[in-house]
Structure formats: structure tokens, C-alpha cells
A and B are shown apart, each in its own frame.
Chain A
Amino acid sequence: MKKFRLYFEEHNRGPLTQLWQQFQRQHAAVFGLVMFSFFLLLTLFAPLLSPHDPYLQNADLLLLAPSWSEQGLVQYPFGTDDLGRDLMSRLMKGATYTFGIALITVIGALLMGLALGAMAGMSKGVKSSIFNHVLDLALTIPSLLLAIIIVAVLGPGLWNTTWAIMLALLPQFVHGIRNAIQDTLKQDYVAAYRLDGASNWQVLRYAVLPNIWEHLTVMATMALSTAILDVAALGFLGLGAQAPTSEWGVMIADALDLIYLAPWAIALPGILVFASVLSVNLVGDGLRTAMTKRREN
């Protein structure tokens, strides 16, 4: 055993470990992370896990009740829809669309935002102010209106509306990243690094980025919850994913005609949208708290 302890052990851990330590102290956030991983697994492996083909129509089993009611069957845990398709398989496949597409959108917007935000953050004067004003314009167009315009130009479809959601998310990313970069640039260690002769790119790569990635993650989780809600809302309105696709918003819109006969067909996809957004928000809030606490220590 060592005789002297020069440092408190906890303070000597890497930033990631410290973050995780703060994060796992919050039970709600860990619960959110478990749910988030569940949805991620579903997104990746839904075709392997689902018990039936989500698009297979079975004329003998139309509008089967869920298995917890008297008329239900165990093979169809959540029953079937009005075309005899297994609801559970459709819901699982829906994670690929709603959750997966939202993830892709956020990653796309994050990468674009990083490029544009870095440009805006590292530049000064007129260039940066023009940049800001163009962004302000993008901020003023509501995301649904943007989607309407894009659908009018390109036609409806899941991938077309992805662009609308990406564009709607972009301004907040660019603003956030630009502000974070400019805050970091004011730090003394950046000035010291510059005095060592570091170029703009080196400052960005080695001094700024490692210090803002936490911000980026928090921003991305906030954006992800918006993106999931937007994908589902556009599907519900018939602008995004189209009818046979088992996207959750589309499934709710499909089940509207059956609101009296099969209320669970509206309730279940909605619960999934809600649960996925909640999990993302829990993780985001937990990360933010963990981040502030880590900085305080």
C-alpha cells in the first residue's frame, strides 16, 4: 500500500469517467439510458426480432384484439390492424423509421452545423455577421412550413421531409456551436496555444473541439427529441412517410378511422413515440446535470 496519496483519486480520472460517475448517480437518467438503448436495439435489429412480417396481410385475423383481452391470441400480443397485419411487428419495424430516421437527421444536422458553426465561430467581422443574419431567416420559418414547401417542390416522402427537419434543426446547431467555439476561444489556454504557433485548424482541432464535445452531445439529444416528434407529426399529417410504411405517426393516422373499434391501435404507437422522446429527454437532462457538476468539481 502506498504511503502518500498526493492526489484525491477521483479528481485524477479522465473526463469521460468523471462524466459517467456523475451521470450514474441520477436514477432517472440511467433509466432513460436503458430505454434509449432499447429503442436503439429495436431500430437496428427490428427485422430479426419481430415475430411476423410487418406487411403480411392475414384476411382471417382482421382487427384482432390485444392478447390481454378475451378475444386475443398469444401469437399476436398487440392484436392486428384492419388489414390483418401484426401490430407488434409493425410497431417494432416503426422504430427503424421514426427513431432511426430521426437519428440520421440529427447526425446530418450535427455534421453540417459543426462545419458551418466552425466557420462562423472562427471568422470575425462582416463575414460572421452576414452568416448570422442568413441563419436568422432560417429560424423564422416554422419547421412544418419548411416541410410543406419542400413537399411542394420535391413531392411527399420520408426522405424528402428529412431535409426539412434537418434544415429546421440546423440553425440551433450552428448558433450553439458558434457560441461555444467563441467562448472557448477567449480562454487563456487557447491564447497560449496560439503563442506556440498553432494554426487556426490546430486550435480548432486540439484546443476547441475537445472542450465543446459535451455541449455538442447535449445539443444533439435536445435536437433528437425534436426530430422524433417532427418525423411522427409529418407522418401523421401525410407529408412524410406514406401509408403502408409502419412509421408510428402514419400508424396513428391510419388507425384514426377505427378510433371507436380499436382505440389501442392509436394508443400504442403514441406511447412509443412518447417513450422514445422521454428517454431522449431524460438522457439529455442527465447529461446536462452531469456536465455542470463535473465542471464544478
Chain B
Amino acid sequence: MMLHYFLRRTFLIGFVFVALTVLAFSLSYLFPGDVLNNVSGLTNIAPEQQQALIQYYALDQSVLMQYLAYVNRILDGEWGLSFSSQQPVLAEIIAVFPATLELASYALILSFVLGIPLGLFAAVKADSFFGKLVSGITLVAYSIPIFWWALLLIMLFSLTLGLLPTAGRINVLFDIPTTTGFMLPDIWLSDIRYKSEATMDALRHLLLPAIVLATYPTTVMIRFTRDSMLAVLEQSYIKTARAKGLSRAQVLYHHGLRNALLPVIRQIGLQFSTLITLAMITEVIFSWPGIGQWLLDSIYQRNYPAIQGGLLVVSCLVIVVNMLTEILHTLFNPLARKA
């Protein structure tokens, strides 16, 4: 049963990956400029080089062969050069990607820690003043444009009060050697003397972007936890559990929360691509050196090979997260396995 399910999933993922590479491949032709430049990422190609390059990239063969050659190069880790720096695209992505992952995961964790209890609270105390307050604040936070919210917080905490820094991941005075690419683990792994100061500084840099980015997922989490909890509390098995003499907390935890969180898990996967969009905007505003800022710089510089590479990496991340939440959902919910 489960095996069949996993096989189907694997097939589906394979299909999506093929479609994704076809899209990325066709972009070399769709982007303005010469195809050879777009494929290789070289800005100046000498005439005597040209023939060799065309052969190397299989541009003289049929489209299908070109596509196969492209997939081969992708798998070999040869993603072309960036127009602006003439460095390999893949190396640049590896340098910036952890920063995005770090920011997004802290925001997601924050949204779990805040969103689920608040959503639960808003469902259980739906008619009380605080329940309505939570619902109201959620609606307001759900409607705020993220870039404006970020600017408001910068205006308040950085420009007026001067409490928090506005840009970057850490003060440039600290020299942290890169091992994992994630700032906090890097600080703990390094053998510098001023570890605690560096940690504090990194946290201060992290605070505003994480809050800004966490706003949207937290509100989504509250809304979904509340709605699905309200739906679950209507079910007859809740009444049965109460009638059996279980305490309120027992009913809420064992019968309510466990069932209510199932759709919430699914929602994380569905909302993840929105989260990435928001992370990109947050990175631009806070000069956070992640893939979002890198991609937006690439579009301002018309750096086509970089956009192609970014598309592959970001979409793969979303696909993987989607798949993981889907599998988690199926593992926790026997009813979903039948479909």
C-alpha cells in the first residue's frame, strides 16, 4: 500500500523535474541575446572559439540532443558562468543559498511556535474577547504588504530608536570563517575568541528580517489552525471523548489537535512558494545576502544564466518541501493513503 503510494509519488516528481528542466532549457532560447552566450555564460566569445563551443554545447544538433546535453551538464554540476562576475553559477548559488534557508527556517519555526498555540486559543475561546482580538490581529497582519511592514519596522526600531541594525547578516568587524554557510552554526563551529559577542550581533541582525518574514506564515498558521480546530470540535468523536469523561486538555490534545493539525501540515507545503517570494523581498530590503537578493541583482543586470540556475534551485527546493509535507501528511493520516 505505502510502497505503491511512494512509487506513484516518485513517478510524479520525476515528471515535474523533467518539465522543469525543459522550461529552464527553453529559457536559453527565449531570453534576448545569442543562444551561445546564454548557454555558456561567456560574454565575449572569440570567433575561433565559436566553432568549438557550438560543438561542445551540441548546438549544431537537434533540439532533443541539445536538451539531453543540457541535462547532462546540469547533473555534472556545470551550470555555465554568470554574466556579471564570470564565475560558475553553481558556486555562487552554493554561497548564497544557505542564507536564504537560514532566514526562511527561523521564520517558519517562529510561525509554528506562535501560530499553532494562538490558533488553538482562538478556536477554543472563539467567542471571548481575546479570541476575537487574535482573529482581528490576524486579519490585519494578513493584509499588510510585507515591504511596507519591513520599512515601518526599520523606521521605528532602526532609524528612530536606533536599537537594531538595518542590513546584512553580521557586523563586518566580525570575521567568521564559512564552513556550513549558516551564520549561527558557523559562529559556534569557529574558534574565535569573541563568540558570544558575535552570536549576539548575528541575532540582532536576524531579529527584524525574521519577524518580518514570519508575519505572513504565522497568520496563515493561526487562521488554518483555528478553522480546522473549529471544524474538528464539531465532530461527534469529540463529544464521545467528552462523554467518556476525559478532561478538556486531554480531549484537546489527543482528539482535537492531532486531527486539526493534519490540514495545517499540508498547508505548509502549499504556502511554501509564497514564503520564498516573501523571503526574496525581505532579503532585498534588509540586504540579506541570500538567493533572493542575488536573483533580483541578476535581473537588474540581465544576467540570464544566473536566472536559469536560480529557477532550478528555488523550484527544486519548493518541490522537495512540497513532497516532504505530502509524505508527512500521508504518514500521519491513514485516510489519505487510499487515494
Interface positions of A (Cβ within 8 A of B): 133-134, 136-137, 139-145, 148-149, 151-153, 225, 229, 232-233, 236-239, 249, 252, 256, 259-260, 263, 266-267, 269-270, 273-274, 277-278, 281-282, 285
Whole-angstrom distance between the Cβ of B284 and the nearest chain A Cβ: 7
**B273 and A143 contacting across the interface, CB-CB below 8 Å:** yes
Q: Between A and B, how many residue pairs show CB distances below 8 Å? A: 124
**B318 and A136 contacting across the interface, CB-CB below 8 Å:** no
16 residue pairs of the A-B complex, CB under 8 angstroms, read A137-B23, A140-B16, A140-B319, A143-B273, A145-B295, A145-B310, A145-B311, A149-B307, A152-B307, A232-B147, A233-B277, A237-B284, A266-B151, A266-B155, A270-B145, A274-B144
**A140 and B295 contacting across the interface, CB-CB below 8 Å:** no
Point out the residue from A151, A274, A281, A282 that lies within 8 Å of B145, measured CB to CB: A274
**B15 and A281 contacting across the interface, CB-CB below 8 Å:** no
- The 4 A-B pairs with the shortest beta carbon distances in the complex, nearest first, are A270-B148, A277-B143, A278-B143, A144-B277
By secondary structure, the B interface counts as helix
**B296 and A139 contacting across the interface, CB-CB below 8 Å:** no
Interfacial residues of chain B within 7-65, with CB under 8 A of chain A in the complex = 12, 15-16, 19-20, 23, 27, 30-32
Cα distance, A140 to B280, chains bound together (Å): 15
Enumerate chain A residues within 8 angstroms of B300, measured Cβ to Cβ: 238
Q: Does any Cβ of A come within 8 Å of B281's Cβ?
A: yes
Whole-angstrom distance between the Cβ of B230 and the nearest chain A Cβ: 11
Whole-angstrom distance between the Cβ of A32 and the nearest chain B Cβ: 10
Whole-angstrom distance between the Cβ of A127 and the nearest chain B Cβ: 15
Take A152-B302, A152-B304, A278-B139 as given contacts and tell me if A260 and B159 are in contact as well, using a CB distance cutoff of 8 Å. Answer: yes
With CB as the reference atom, state the residue of chain B lying closest to A98. Answer: B145
Enumerate chain A residues within 8 angstroms of B155, measured Cβ to Cβ: 259, 263, 266
Whole-angstrom distance between the Cβ of B72 and the nearest chain A Cβ: 22
By secondary structure, the A interface counts as helix
**B159 and A270 contacting across the interface, CB-CB below 8 Å:** no
Point out the residue from B12, B27, B142, B280 that lies within 8 Å of A144, measured CB to CB: B280
Enumerate chain A residues within 8 angstroms of B147, measured Cβ to Cβ: 232-233, 236, 249, 252
7 additional contacts (CB under 8 A) given A153-B32, A249-B147, A270-B148: A133-B19, A142-B276, A145-B277, A148-B299, A237-B281, A237-B296, A259-B155
Enumerate chain B residues within 8 angstroms of A152, measured Cβ to Cβ: 27, 31, 299, 302, 304, 307
